[in-house]
Structure 1
């Protein structure tokens, strides 16, 4: 029989297998390194984009904060202006109130039957002192005060007999609670 020596062939095949395994391992390692390097590059790009977006957002935030401060300043200016307008309206109403009050009093006086001796106007009340020929004149005057719509309550404080130039007349004192001019203006606006 022929003897074939297969040992050198097996040794060569074993060396070839080792070389193949080493090259596959080396190629796998190189491929893994390239894949990790590529992944790292992608992460760096994403990180750069996110940083750029963050910077853009910070810049926009600065712009919006500046605009917000401007809006707050405008709101404060508007509030101040509104307060000034309200003060002006109040002053305007208060300026007209004494004229309105005196005009209404002259319309309500019963001619040739009564006259005022004193007239006091507080913030929310009016005290009227005067003389009338009789009780009915005082009652009619009080009724006119109540019907005028300028007063919420009309009260006769005193009514007494007084002699003026040898003539008996009725001395009276009436206190009235005023309706604020603002409320009167609102009532006129509704009607």
Structure 2
């Protein structure tokens, strides 16, 4: 009878199976290493991209912060300029109103019979100090003030006899309120806006 020895075949087969398993394990390890390397590289690229984006955003933020500060400075300067122009307009109006007041007073004075010694004007009131020849002159002047429609509440505060160079004169003090005209009111509203 013929005998066949199958043991070396089985050993060879077993060795082959072990080799196959080891090579499969090594291949799996190689593929896992390659996959993990690719994943790590893609994550590094994403991280680098996000870092670049953050740097750009920070740079833009710093530029915008500088711009915001400049805008705030410009707004403050504009506010100062607006305040100054308002003050200038008010001064211009006050100057015009002073000229108008003096012109009005010179037109209302009774020539040769009365003289002003002092004239002071506040925002809405006027104080007039002067000398007149008699009581009638002071009364006529007060009537002229009331009739001009520029003044209201014309009041005689004092009227005293005063002798200057042996001439008996009347020293008077009159207070009155300025009437705000419609034109001045509209110009004041325009200035406030």
TM-score, normalised via structure 1 length: 0.66
Give the 5 Å matches for 1:1-80.
Answer: 7-80=7-80
Superposed CA deviations along residues 53-96 of structure 1, whole A, max 9, x for unmatched, are 23333443444344344434433443443344334323323332
Name the Cα RMSD after superposition.
4.3
On the 8 A contact 2:154/2:177 being kept in 1, the answer is yes
C-alpha deviation, 1:168, in angstroms: 9.6
Distance 1:6 1:13 in 2: 10
Alpha carbons of 1:94 and 1:112: their partners in 2 closer, same or farther (altered >3 Å)?
closer
Deviation larger for 2-11 or 53-62: 2-11
Query: What residue is the counterpart of 1:98 in the other structure?
Result: 98
On the 8 A contact 2:108/2:141 being kept in 1, the answer is no
Query: What residue is the counterpart of 2:156 in the other structure?
Result: 156
Alpha carbons of 1:142 and 1:87: their partners in 2 closer, same or farther (altered >3 Å)?
closer
Point out where structure 2 has 5 or more consecutive residues left out of the alignment.
Answer: none
TM-score, normalised via structure 2 length: 0.65
C-alpha deviation, 1:97, in angstroms: 2.9
On the 8 A contact 1:117/1:129 being kept in 2, the answer is yes
Classify the secondary structure of the residue corresponding to 1:44. Answer: helix
Deviation larger for 33-42 or 93-102: 93-102
Classify the secondary structure of the residue corresponding to 2:146. Answer: helix
Classify the secondary structure of the residue corresponding to 1:133. Answer: helix
C-alpha deviation, 1:128, in angstroms: 1.7
Distance 2:108 2:99 in 1: 14
Q: Which one of 124, 147, 151 corresponds to residue 144 of structure 1?
A: 147
Alpha carbons of 1:26 and 1:114: their partners in 2 closer, same or farther (altered >3 Å)?
farther
